[in-house]
Structure 1
Amino acid sequence: MSGNTQARDDSGRADPDRRAADAAEDGLPPRVVALGGGHGLHASLSALRRVTTDLTGVVTVADDGGSSGRLRRELGVLPPGDLRMALAALCGDDEWGHTWSEVIQHRFRSEGELHGHAVGNLLIVALWELLGDSVAGLDWVGQLLGAHGRVLPMSSVPLDIAAEVQGVDPARPHDITTVRGQVACASTRGRVRSISLIPQNPPAFPQALKAVREADWVVFGPGSWFTSVLPHLLVPELAEALVATPARRIVTLNLSPQRGETDGFQPETYLEVLAAHAPDLRVDVVLADRGVVEDTTRLIEAAKALGGRLVLADVGAPDGSPRHDHELLAAAFDDIIRG
């Protein structure tokens, strides 16, 4: 069977198991799409580029802080910061990759207007202005870096996140307040209950939709759950593609709660929140670090409720810090994808 022919089961629906097997027989690398933003997506892309050569990162575009927020407000562009971090994650381990990763991540330190701006943010925005095409600009940066994969925005317009937060005022712990902006949502003193996007029905990038529809595997997380992972499921066209794709889906859980955004979360809470925001989404694998799961039974049940199975692996940094080790995470992904 040709690698371009989509395998189907007896009901006529796309069959991800058969399609993946066909791809393996044809000697093709697995087509993987990872969704998220910031440090979480950086971790998953850094790992996945060690597993496949057909890799796409689909990135949130709601950042309103720091260098990205300033460029967004001044020039009306998509916030480039999370896109820059995703491109840096795709740089190789050779001297060229290391050097360019450091260059685009470098931030100016001064007393003037350049203070805090990342070189990569300025480079990306410059190419956007010259080419008039967001995707083409990112592809050019990727070529310069020798990126092992492609980076795409999830939407063609800048977005704002609005969160319904309980207990912003400690004196009124049961009151619900609407908090607007990614930075405000991520640093809120209350507990985030749900999020929405402004505008409510933003357009998805066609290239991102195509990547999801043609993927063999789709990876959610790790990362800021409400401000980096869930927003993809609130872009209607992208959410539809993520539900309908014949790809198998992996959810990678965080190593620890994020102060403000997910205070008090247990591992299964991430899955419960995911189900509440995307009730039609089915998951095949939930990947969690063996060292942070105290109640395996509850997490297994939460994974089953989404249609998936739990995989426990050692993916945290050996020094005990709450960050994923790229090599260990790559080994876990490889076992799942090729297993």
Structure 2
Amino acid sequence: MRRAVALGGGHGLHATLSALRRLTDDVTAVVTVADDGGSSGRLRRELGLLPPGDLRMALAALAAEDESGRRWGELVQHRFGGTGALAGHAVGNLLLAGLMEVLGDPVAALDEVAALLGLRGRVLPMSCDPLDIEAEVTGLGLPDGALIRGQVAVASTPGRVQRVWLRPDRPRACPQALDAVKAADVLLLGPGSWFTSVIPHLLVPELREALIASPARRIVVLNLAPEPGETAGFSPEQHLAVLSQHAPELRVDAVIADVTAVPVPELLHRTAAVMLAPGGRVHLAPVAAADPADPEMTVPRHDPAALADALGVVLAELDGGSDGTGFDTQTRSAPREQETRRSNAWR
């Protein structure tokens, strides 16, 4: 069974984990810890703890599918209403914050909640210290650009993000997360908020070095659309270009993108060539959730089953050799053939 590690945060990481759990039980989530908004931001400011929101979402994505796991998963995601002191807080955020205070160890706190949820896999922070994101932003009316600080400020900026970095500088990686990356057979980056959830993993020196040195299959999953604020107006090619800008030494084995989100596949292929390892490929497949009429789907979401299919096909092709072009614009295979390839790829 392959050991998979997914790095990211928020809804993008939730989608990746929901896909991976269909393929293997050995899944580790490595989660960004720079959130400073909403319930997470309040708890971080008041208690000085890791922001728990993205960690909570990753735990919920890997909760057991039995009755107990579903009940606990629903509970940790429940958010209090009203106008009082608890308004807006998620139960899981409060639970994690309490355990972090009692145990004095965020990894131990996550493992305790994982046991409650009957977790299939493990959730770890990318660093055991809360971090801040800073960005260089142009287009705000200042001749030399501006520096802005904070995940919310970067994510919602009306300007154009040029590059990001972390504060404090050169943060320490969570040792357990580092061990998971070093032991992985498959490493996934994305989808998610590109500058505030995906790229930050490449800005933790030890984590970045481990990702670059890893013999694992490294796969980038691109977003379905640019996000208002931090990547407004970005093409799929620009997403890849800024990833390479922040980690020019990183080589990946595959880039997965939704077939309808890439207007000119040849452009994506040319941009990806800078990052692709020998034998690497671009794989276009229908990985978006199919029901845009869903009232809860305010932004495009990846479909976990479709993403799992794409991952399985990519790994089977990488293991079996490519056609030499490194460029695959095929959509999903016939169901029976694809299921066989997906299953074999994860043994």
The two structures have a TM-score, normalised by structure 2, of: 0.87
Q: How many residues align?
A: 308
| Partner Cα separation in structure 2 for residue 58 and residue 291 of structure 1 | 29
Match of 2:207 in 1: 238
State the one-letter code of the partner of 2:262.
Answer: V
Q: Secondary structure at the match of 1:114?
A: coil
What is the aligned-residue identity percentage? 62
State the one-letter code of the partner of 1:83.
Answer: L
1:175 Cα deviation after fit: 4.2
Residues 81-230 of structure 1 mapped to structure 2, 5 A cutoff: 81-169=53-141, 175-230=144-199
* Stretches of 4+ aligned residues off by more than 4 angstroms: none
Q: Is the 8 A contact 1:128 1:134 kept in 2?
A: yes
Q: Secondary structure at the match of 1:53?
A: coil
State the one-letter code of the partner of 2:75.
Answer: V
Match of residue 237, structure 2, among 237, 262, 268 = 268
| Partner Cα separation in structure 2 for residue 145 and residue 108 of structure 1 | 20
| Partner Cα separation in structure 1 for residue 272 and residue 63 of structure 2 | 33
State the one-letter code of the partner of 2:130.
Answer: P
Q: Deviations over 1:101-122 (max 9, x none)?
A: 2110111112211111110011
Q: Deviations over 1:239-262 (max 9, x none)?
A: 111111111100000000000110
| Partner Cα separation in structure 2 for residue 279 and residue 132 of structure 1 | 37
| Partner Cα separation in structure 2 for residue 309 and residue 316 of structure 1 | 20
Q: What are the ranges of 5 or more consecutive residues in structure 2 without an aligned counterpart?
A: 293-298, 318-347
CA RMSD of aligned residues (A): 1.2
Q: Secondary structure at the match of 1:329?
A: helix
1:126 Cα deviation after fit: 1.3
| Partner Cα separation in structure 2 for residue 294 and residue 60 of structure 1 | 31
Match of 2:8 in 1: 36
Q: What are the ranges of 5 or more consecutive residues in structure 1 without an aligned counterpart?
A: 1-28
1:291 Cα deviation after fit: 1.1
The two structures have a TM-score, normalised by structure 1, of: 0.89
Q: Deviations over 1:194-219 (max 9, x none)?
A: 00100011110111111001101100
1:142 Cα deviation after fit: 0.6
Alignment of 1:288 with 2:257, yes or no, is yes
1:128 Cα deviation after fit: 1.4
Q: Secondary structure at the match of 1:305?
A: coil
| Partner Cα separation in structure 2 for residue 175 and residue 312 of structure 1 | 38
Alignment of 1:335 with 2:307, yes or no, is no
Match of 2:323 in 1: none
